[in-house]
Chain A
Amino acid sequence: MKGLIRWFFFRSRGDSPFKLLLIHLALIVACLIAIYPVARVVSISLRPGDRLLSTDLALIPKDATWSNYTQLLASKDFFLWVWNSLTVTVSVSIIGVILAATSAYAFSRWKFPGRAPALVLLLSTQMVPAIMMLIPLYLMFVGITRQFGIPLVGSYLGLIVAQSAGGVPFSIWILKGYYDTIPVDLEEAAKIDGAGPLGAFYRIILPLSTPALAIVFLFNFMASWVDYILPRVILPKPELFTWPLGLQRLQGQFQTEWGMFAAASVLVAIPSMALFLYSSKWLISGLTLGSVKG
C-alpha cells in the first residue's frame, strides 16, 4: 500500500506530494471534459427507443440495449454508406501514393529545369482553402459531365479525382523529404550491378521507403475518409452517400433517429479512432516535417 502511494506520488523535479495531487486532479478534470461528449454518444446509442429523448445525464443507461445497432444495420443504408466511403477512400489513397511516389523521386534525385517553381507551386496549393476550389471544380465537373458524358458529378469519379489531387502535393513533400535521407550510393551500387535508373528505384528506393509510403497512404486515407464538404457538393444521390452524409441524414431526424445516429457514429468512430491513435506518432511527425520543411 505504501509502495502504491509512493508510486502514485512519484517525485520528479522536486514536485511535492500536494502539487502532484493537484496535477492529477487537473488532469482528471481535463480528461473528463475530453471524454464526456464522446461517452455521451456511446450512452445514447445504448438507450432503448422509448427513452431516446430524456434529460438523464447518466452515462450508462439503466436499461441498456443493442436495439439501435440492430435496427440501424438491418433497416438503414449504413453498409452502403461505409462501402461508398471505402470505395472512394481506397481509390484516392492508391492513386495518390502512386502519383506522389514517382514525382517525389524525380524531385529528390534530379535538378531539372522548372524544379524550384514546381516545388513552390506544390507548397502554395496548401494555402488555398478547399472551399475556394470547390466553385471552379464543381462548375468544371458539371461542364465535363454534360459535354463528354464522363459523370464527374453525381458519381464517385469527381470525388476521387478531386480528393486525389488534393492529397498529392503534401504527399510529394513528405516522400521527397524521406527519399532525401536515402544515400545515393545505394542506387549507384545497383547501377554498377546492371540495374537501370528505374530498376534502382523499384528494387532499392521503394522497398526502403515502405514506412513513408505507409504514412502517405494513411494521410490520404484519413483526409478522404472524414471529408464532408466535397461529397456534399458532388454526390447528391442518397445511394451514393458516404458515411458523413448518411450520418447527417440520420442526425436530421433528431426526434426519432438520434439513437441510430449515435450507433452509426460509434461504429464509424471505433475503427477511425483506432487507426488514428495507432498511427498518430507518424501523423504528427509528418505534420511537423511539413512545417519544418515549409
Chain B
Amino acid sequence: MRSLLAGDIAEKLWSWLRALLALALLALVVKFFATYLPKQQSLTPTVVLGSVKTVGGFVALIAAFVVALEFVLYVVLMKLLKWKHALAYMLVAPGMVGIALLFLYPFGYNIAIAFSDRSLQRFLPGAYSYGLAYGLENFKSVFTDKILHDTGFWEVFARTWLWTAINVFFHVLGGLGLALLLNRTLPLRGLYRTILVFPWAIPQVIVALALHNEFHYQYGFVNNLLVSLGLPRVQWLSEPVPAFVAATSSNIWLGIPFMMVIILGGLQSISHEFYEAAAIDGASGWQQFKSITWPLLQPVLTPATVMGTIWTFNAFNVIYLITVGGPSEKTDILVTALFKAAFEFYRYGQAAAFALVIFVILFAVSATWIQLSGGLKGVTD
C-alpha cells in the first residue's frame, strides 16, 4: 500500500515538474523574442504589412470565388431544380472543388507531362509538345536509361526496398521491446515515456540537419564517441556503405517512438485475464508472449507496419538532408531520385513518368494491404 502511494505521488510530482519545465523553457523563448524583436532589422513593419496584405488579398480572392460558387449552386440546384441534395452539394462543393483542382487535375497533368518532351530547354508553352511516342520513350528511359547522373532505376529500386525493410524491421523490434518494458506498473514510467518520445516530437528537419553535421569526420559526436571507445574514425558521408548506415541508423532512431506508442496502446487494450489464465496454466513468459501478446497485437501492428512502410519508402527529408543521396548517388532512394530528376536535372517528362511508376508501386502495396485486411467495406458507411 505504502509503495503504491509513493508511486502515485511520484507520478503526480513528475507531471507537475514536466509542466513547470515546459513553461519555464517557453518563457525563456518568449523572453529572447521579446528582447530582440525591437533590436533586429529583418522583420520590419513594412515586411509584416506586406505579407498580411498579400495573404489577406489572396484569402479574399478565394472567399469571393467560394461565394460565387455557392451562389451558382444555390440558384441552379436549389431554386431552379429544387433538388433535395442541393444543400449537401453546397456544403461539399468548396472542399471537393479544391481537391479536384489541386489533386485530380495535377494528377492528370502529371500523366500529360509524362507524354511530353518537356525539359529545361523546352520549358515554356509552345517549346515542348505532347505525343504517344514521347510517353513510350519516357517510360522506357525510366527503366533503361539513367534516372540520376549515373545511376539507373533498378539500383535505386533495390536500395529503396533494402532501406525500407531494415528500417521497418528495427522500428517494430525497438518499438515492441520498449513497449513491453513500459507496459507494467513501474516507477518513473511517465518520465521514461516522455523522454523516449523525443525523437518523434522534435521536428524531423532539425534532427536531419543536425545529424548531417554530427557525422562530420573530425567534429561530429559519432566519430568522437567511437574514438572514446577506442575505435577508429569512420568517413561517414564520403563512403557509400557508411553513408547508408548513417542514414539508416538516423531513421531508425527517428521512427522507433511512433511504433512504441502505437504498440503500447495495443498492449494496454489486451485484457489481464488472458495472462492470469495463462499463469494458472503454468505458461512461461515466452509462451504468453507467443500465444497471447503477439496474436492480439496484430490488429494494431498490421496497420502501423503498413503506415510505417509507406512513410519509410517516402522518407525524403532524412536521406536528402543527411547524405543528399551521396556519395555519388549511392544512398539515393526512389523519392530523392525523383526529386533530383525533376528539380536538379530538369527532365520533367522522364520525371513525370518516373513518378507514375513510383505511384504504381505504392498503390500495389496499399491495395495488397486493403485486400488482406478485408476490403474497403466500412469506408463509405
A residues lining the B interface (CB < 8 Å):
3-4, 6-8, 10, 12-13, 15, 20, 23-24, 26-27, 30-31, 33-38, 40-41, 53-57, 69-70, 73-80, 83-84, 87, 91, 95, 99-100, 102-103, 105-107, 109-110, 112-113, 115-116, 118-123, 125, 127-140, 143, 146, 155-157, 160-162, 164-165, 168-169, 172, 197-198, 225-226, 228-229, 233, 239, 244, 247-248, 251, 254, 258, 261-262, 265, 267-274, 276-278, 280, 284, 287-288, 291-294
Complex: A54 Cα to B216 Cα, angstroms: 11
- Contact indicator A155/B206 (Cβ below 8 Å): no
Closest Cβ–Cβ distance, residue B245 to chain A (whole Å) = 16
Are A265 and B206 in contact (CB-based, < 8 A)? yes
Which B residues, 77 to 128, have Cβ-Cβ distances below 8 Å to chain A? Answer: 85, 87-89, 91-92, 94-96, 98-99, 101-107, 109-110, 113, 118, 124-125
Closest B residue, CB atoms, query A109 = B88
Contact (A132, B210) CB under 8 Å given A99-B95, A254-B216, A291-B303: no
CB neighbours (8 Å) of A118 from chain B are 92, 96
Query: Is A131 a contact of B316 with CB atoms below 8 Å?
Result: yes
Q: Which residues of chain B are within 8 angstroms of A276 by Cβ–Cβ distance?
A: 200-201
> Sorted from nearest, which 10 A-B pairs have the closest CB atoms?
A103-B95, A165-B102, A73-B36, A110-B88, A106-B91, A136-B106, A7-B6, A79-B43, A80-B42, A12-B185
CB closest chain-B residue, reference A278: B22
Contacts of B221 in A (CB 8 A): 36-37, 40, 57
B-chain residues with CB within 8 Å of residue A122 when the two chains form the complex: 99
Separation of A123 and B103 alpha carbons in the complex (Å): 12
Taking CB atoms and an 8 Å cut-off, the chain B residues in 116-153 that contact chain A are 118, 124-125
What are 5 pairs between A and B in contact, CB < 8 Å? A37-B211, A165-B101, A269-B202, A277-B197, A280-B197
Interface residues in B303-356 (C-beta closer than 8 Å to A): 303-304, 307, 310, 313-314, 316-317, 321, 335, 338-339, 342-343, 348, 351-352, 355
Q: Is the CB of B40 within 8 A of A128?
A: no
Main secondary structure of the interface of B (DSSP, over half): helix
Q: Known interface pairs A38-B198, A127-B366. Does A132 touch B95 (Cβ–Cβ under 8 Å)?
A: no
Chain B residues near A78 (CB-CB < 8 A): 40, 42
Distance between B93 CB and nearest chain A CB, rounded to angstroms? 8
Are B314 and A130 neighbours in the complex by a CB distance under 8 Å? yes
Q: Other CB < 8 Å A-B pairs besides A79-B36, A135-B348, A156-B51, 12 of them?
A: A34-B199, A37-B253, A73-B32, A78-B40, A110-B88, A120-B376, A128-B362, A132-B110, A134-B342, A146-B124, A169-B99, A265-B210
Which residues of B sit under 8 angstroms from A109, Cβ to Cβ?
Answer: 88
CB of B280 within 8 Å of the partner chain:
no
A277–chain B nearest beta-carbon distance, Å: 6
In this complex, what residue of B is CB-closest to A117? B380
Determine which of A37, A79, A131, A248 lies in contact with B314 in the assembled complex, contact meaning CB atoms within 8 Å: A131
**B213 near A251: Cβ-Cβ < 8 Å:** yes
What residues of B have a CB within 8 angstroms of the CB of A91 in the complex?
Answer: 55, 59
- How far is B253's CA from A80's CA once the two chains are assembled, in angstroms? 31
B88 pairs with A106, CB closer than 8 A:
yes
Please tell me if the beta carbons of B95 and A129 are within 8 angstroms of each other in the complex: no
B284 interface residue per 8 A CB criterion: no
Knowing A271-B26, A277-B194, A293-B378, say if A55 contacts B39 (CB, 8 Å). no
Q: Restricting to B38-56, which residues have a CB under 8 Å from any CB of A?
A: 39-40, 42-43, 47-48, 51-52, 54-55
**What chain A residues lie within 8 Å of B37 (beta carbons)?**
79
- Contact between A34 and B198, CB atoms less than 8 A apart: yes
The answer on a CB contact under 8 Å between A10 and B186 is: yes
Neighbouring A residues of B181 by C-beta, 8 Å: 23, 26-27, 30
A265–B211 Cα gap in the complex (Å)?
12
Q: Mark B269-280, 1 if CB is under 8 A from A, else 0.
A: 000000100000
Query: From residue A168, how far is it (CB to closest CB) to chain B in Å?
Result: 6
The smallest beta-carbon distance between B296 and chain A, in angstroms, is 16
Contact A273 B98 (CB under 8 A): no
Q: What is the bound-complex CA distance between A109 and B88, given in angstroms? A: 8
B206 contacts A247, C-beta separation under 8 Å = yes
- Whether B198 pairs with A35 at a CB distance below 8 angstroms is yes
Residues in B neighbouring A168, C-beta threshold 8 A: 95, 98-99
B204 contacts chain A at the CB level, 8 A cutoff:
yes
With A40-B210, A284-B261 as known contacts, state yes or no: A135 contacts B3, CB within 8 Å.
no
Chain B residue numbers with a CB within 8 Å of A116 are 380
Query: Beyond A37-B253, A267-B29, is A105–B358 a contact (Cβ under 8 Å)?
Result: no
- On whether A55 and B224 interact (CB within 8 A), knowing A83-B48, A134-B342, A161-B102, the answer reads yes
